[in-house]
Structure formats: C-alpha cells, structure tokens
Amino acid sequence: MIELVNSYVDWIKKGISLREVGDGWHEMITPFLNHKNDMIEIYLRKESDGSISISDAGVTLSELKLSGIDIDRSEKRAKELDIILRSFGILRTENNELIAKTTTKNFPQVKHRVIQAILSIDDLFVLAKPKVESFFIEDVITFFELRDVIYVRDTTFIGKSGFSHKFDFTLPKIKQRKEVAIKAINTPRKDRIESVMWMLEDTRLVRPETEGLLILNDENEISSEVQRALEEYNIKYFEWSKREDNIPNLVA
C-alpha cells in the first residue's frame, strides 16, 4: 500500500502550478476538483512579518451561493461550516474569504489543511437536489443516533507524511472491533475518493490499529471505476442505501 501514498504525492506535485497575480499574491492551481470539475485554486502571499497567508479569495462560498446554496440562510449549515473551519484552523472574513496564516516551516501542512477544508465544504454543501434542507452529514448523524452507534465527531490524526487528516466520525475501539475512522462522502467522484484513500493509508501507516471506513452517498450511481479502486486497495466502504445492512459492523 505504500505505493499508493507515493503515487498520490507524485500526482499532487505534478498537478500544481504557480503564477504571480499581483500585490504580492501568487495563484496556486491544484489538481483537486470542485463540484464543477474546476481545479481548486488557492492564493499565497508572504507578509512583512515573515508569515505566509493562504486564501481562497472568497471563491469557495461564492461558488456555492451561485449554485443556490446560501450558507447563512440556514442555521444548521452555518453551524456545520463553522465546525469545518474550526477543525481545520481556517478563518472566515467578512468578505467570505477563507484564510489561514502560517510560517514557512509549517506551510506544507497548513496548505494541505486549507485544501482539505475547501474540499470538505464543497462536498458537504453540494446537494443532489437544489434547496434540500438537510445534507448528507446530518443524515449520517441522525442514522447513528437512531441506531445507537457510539461515535466521536471530527477527529484529527497525523499521518506518516506529517499531514493532519480530519475524519468525520470515529468509532471507539471495543473488544470485538478496532477503532474505526470514518469519512462520509456526499459526492464520491474519482478524485475525491483517491484523496480519501491516501488519507486512510497515510493514517494507517502510523496507526495500524485504526481501521478506515467510507460511507458513500449513492443517490447518484457510483462509478464502476471508483468501486474498482476501493476494492483493489481493500478500502472498506458501504453505500448509503445499504446502511441498515451494516449496523452490526457499527455497533459490534
């Protein structure tokens, strides 16, 4: 599985480009895709005190609003956004810009957190049907509570790479089962799945007693390419429509 980690890191390196855009800012284009299949861009600037600012230039929340999803019109969505931002250490400005500051030494880890926050926000709030009041993470929470699944929200682990990885839920270790780190994925596209597969493997290399599990929203059909990749690398997952069949694995 170590080849999965290495190939993923190589893919990131080859997919990044950088150009100066003015006023000290540099645009970094990453290989990660948003819900419109556009490459995610972040902006970098070295400040006079030596710190580095990393920003999304307000694009993430603006794109969602253009898609008909206004975070601030729903208290639940605003709360969930706040949870994501706090867990990744990201600030939201009055202009809806997502920004983080870091040192040169910590830049790789913080850049990684900013990108993962953008992906989490994009995945969480892009719904299959416009203006639906609930969203996938809420559905998973409701299911867990109805079925008495004991869980912890928003756990962060440090992987072999040194990067921090945030999981949506963690099931504690019990006699019959290892600790389980869970990602709930609303839009299981190939690039999103590859990113999460790397997270799981990078975490497993330093936490071999922690198992990974993906919960995939299959309201839209999951591609055979994604299913093959998960099976090839022995990634445990279940489709949301089959959640009742998986209760024994969650409460055992």
**Residue partners of 209: CB distance under 8 A and separation at least 6:** 173, 178, 179
Least confident stretch, 97-106, 130-139, 140-149, 193-202:
130-139
Beta pairing class for 210-216 and 179-185? parallel
Model pLDDT for residues 174-184, shown as the tens digit of each residue: 888 899 999 99
DSSP summary character for residue 219:
S
β-bridge pairing 17-22 and 25-33: antiparallel
Q: What is the C-alpha separation between 24 and 18, in angstroms, rounded? A: 13
pLDDT beyond 90 at 241 = yes
pLDDT score recorded for residue 131: 40
Under 8 Å CB-to-CB from 141, ≥6 apart: which residues? Answer: 153
What is the arithmetic mean of pLDDT over 48-59? 94
pLDDT at 90 over 70: yes
User: What's the rounded mean pLDDT across residues 129-139?
Assistant: 62
Which of 3.40.1350.10, 2.60.120.460, 3.40.50.720, 3.10.290.10 would CATH assign to domain 136-251? 3.40.1350.10
CA 102 to chain CA centroid, Å, is 20
Cα-based distances in Å from 205 to 29, 213, 225: 29, 15, 25
3-state SS assignment for residue 31: strand
Question: What tokens does 30 get?
Answer: 């990453």
Residue 170's Cβ-count burial label (10 Å; 0-12, 13-18, 19+) is buried
CB 190 within 8 A of CB 229: yes
Distance from chain centroid for Cα 144: 20
Residue 104: Cβ-neighbour burial (10 angstroms; 0-12, 13-18, 19+): exposed
CA 63 to chain centre: 17
If 0-12 CB within 10 Å is exposed, 13-18 middle and 19+ buried, where does residue 48 land? exposed
Cα separation, 119 vs 195, whole angstroms: 10
Query: What would the two tokens of residue 40 be?
Result: 């995610």
pTM surpassing 0.75? Answer: no
Where do the structural domains in the chain lie, given as residue ranges?
A: 2-125, 136-251
Residue-wise pLDDT tens digits, 3-47 = 666 777 777 778 889 999 988 999 999 988 887 788 899 999 999
Residue 69 has pLDDT above 90, yes or no: no
